[in-house]
């Protein structure tokens, strides 16, 4: 891939790395881990993650780069512009970009992928057991109506934001649809990491990510161990309590809620778990997420 914006004294710019996941699947934690590995000097109480890049649905960045007020456009019109917006974002970047993505991989309505391969380095795909996603997603929305979030996870038409909201529309395609959309496409290389594996051996998963990204830190065990230590959930929770976290929705008490596996088995009803399993059976079994594997065996 052509180098864009690199000088003789800087590493090559290899395009955008997409950090893709259905909401509440470890995306922010991954960004914190990579920040503590790549640019630890830029991480402080006010800055949990210092990686260059934002979220794919960043409305203000879209407005600034396109020169158009997104508030005057429909969601469909915005989607038509998003591929070129990301291309320009990568073109003007002075360093590698890491962009958080909750959109499924889909086209823009005119047959073009919304995330273009020609400005992409690759994607790290984070996936988490849907039982646990449902509990965490409900907390993120500021309620305990698990019937509602189960329907959202099972709904291929589920969207986040859009319209007059602060972020651009994100078509999640539902839990299974999100996973399948990123894994059926062949234009952008994908590294898949399960949240449960990150909990079980964070250092090994971070090393896999670093190797996928071609980072020199991949061979630096001390740097990886330091990044893992600085990204422990109890430290992130204490940091949020002390300084706040700008990504925390107003309706939820805290962003870094628990950081564990098995809550879905213990909190969701048998009927709710069955609805999730019935709707997502194929992908759950592909990922070894059978009902019997939830709860203590994955914790």
Q: In sequence order, what are the beta bridge partners of 16?
A: 97, 120
Dihedral (CA of 218, 124, 195, 246) sign: positive
Task: Please tell me the predicted confidence (pLDDT) of residue 252.
Answer: 52
Q: What is the mean pLDDT of residues 215-238?
A: 86
Instruction: Say if residue 285's pLDDT is above 90.
Output: yes
Rounded Cα gap, residues 80 and 267, in angstroms = 41
- Give the global pTM: 0.86
Task: Please tell me the predicted confidence (pLDDT) of residue 43.
Answer: 55
Summarised one tens digit per residue, pLDDT across range 75-85 is 999 999 999 99
C-alpha 206, offset from chain centre? 15
HSE at residue 114, side-chain half, CA atoms within 13 A, is 26
Rounded Cα gap, residues 88 and 90, in angstroms = 5
HSE at residue 9, side-chain half, CA atoms within 13 A, is 0
Task: Please tell me the predicted confidence (pLDDT) of residue 39.
Answer: 76
Task: Please tell me the predicted confidence (pLDDT) of residue 201.
Answer: 96
Instruction: Say if residue 247's pLDDT is above 60.
Output: no
CA angle 290, 291, 295 (to 5 degrees): 115
Q: What is the mean pLDDT of residues 177-190?
A: 98
User: What DSSP character marks residue 12?
Assistant: P
Domains of the chain: 16-297 (3.40.50.300)
The interaxial angle of helices 202-213 and 27-38, nearest 10 deg, is 70
């Amino acid at each position: 891939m052509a180098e864009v914006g690199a000088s003789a004294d800087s590493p090559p710019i290899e395009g955008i790395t997409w950090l893709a996941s259905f909401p509440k699947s470890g995306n922010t934690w991954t960004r914190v881990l990579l920040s503590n590995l790549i640019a630890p000097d830029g991480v402080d109480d006010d800055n949990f993650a210092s990686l260059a890049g934002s979220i794919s649905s960043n409305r203000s960045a879209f407005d600034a780069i396109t020169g158009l007020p997104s508030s005057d456009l429909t969601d469909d019109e915005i989607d038509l512009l998003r591929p070129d917006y990301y291309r320009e974002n990568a073109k003007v970047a002075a360093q590698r970009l890491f962009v958080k993505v909750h959109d499924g991989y889909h086209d823009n309505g005119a047959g073009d992928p919304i995330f273009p391969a020609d400005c992409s380095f690759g994607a790290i795909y984070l996936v988490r057991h849907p039982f646990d996603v449902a509990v965490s997603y409900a907390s993120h929305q500021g309620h305990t109506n698990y019937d509602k979030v189960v329907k959202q996870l099972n709904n291929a038409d589920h969207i986040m934001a859009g319209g007059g909201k602060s972020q651009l529309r994100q078509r999640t395609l539902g839990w299974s649809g999100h996973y399948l959309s990123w894994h059926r496409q062949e234009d952008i290389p994908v590294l898949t990491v399960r949240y449960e594996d990150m909990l079980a051996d964070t250092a090994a998963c971070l090393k896999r990510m670093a190797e996928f990204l071609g980072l020199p830190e991949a061979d630096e065990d001390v740097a990886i161990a330091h990044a893992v230590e600085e990204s422990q959930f109890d430290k992130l929770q204490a940091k949020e309590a002390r300084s706040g976290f700008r990504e925390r929705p107003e309706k939820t008490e805290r962003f870094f809620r628990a950081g564990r596996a098995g809550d879905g088995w213990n909190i969701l009803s048998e009927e709710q778990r069955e609805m999730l399993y019935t709707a997502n059976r194929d992908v759950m079994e592909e990922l070894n997420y059978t009902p019997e594997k939830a709860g203590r065996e994955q914790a």
